Amino acid sequence: MPEMELRPISVTDNELEVEVIGENETILNPLKVRLLLDDDVELAEYIIEHPFLSNPKIFMRTRKGDATKALTRALKALQKEYKDFEKAFEDAVPTEQKE
């Protein structure tokens, strides 16, 4: 899988806007939801100006704390959720059925 390309648009202590090259809402929606579960996050949204002509952007603002740290926490939480799901799947479906 190719490495994801990100282009920071605006980064301050409590706000962050990043363009996500070549991706869509499939990856951004779970991130937005996870960000909004953080009490320090005031706003999280992804923006797709045009589905064929522009790349999506993720925008977030924190009430308190650093926006980049809040994003890192959300990403780590998502990684854990997906690993937990993978483990549960592997436990539920015998190997011979997966192949």
pLDDT in tens, 21-46: 988 888 899 999 999 999 999 999 99
| Domains of the chain, CATH where assigned | 5-93 (3.30.1360.10)
User: How many residues does the structure list for the chain?
Assistant: 99
Residue 99 has pLDDT above 80, yes or no: no
Query: Quick one: pLDDT at residue 60?
Result: 98
Average pLDDT of the residues of the chain: 92
Tokens of 5: 């390309």
Residue 88: pLDDT over 80: yes
- Checking if the pLDDT of 18 tops 90, the result is yes
What is the rounded distance in angstroms from the CA atom of residue 66 to the CA atom of residue 59? 14
CA separation for the pair 26, 34 (Å, rounded): 14
Report DSSP state, residue 22: T
- Between residues 26 and 80, the one the model is more confident about: 80
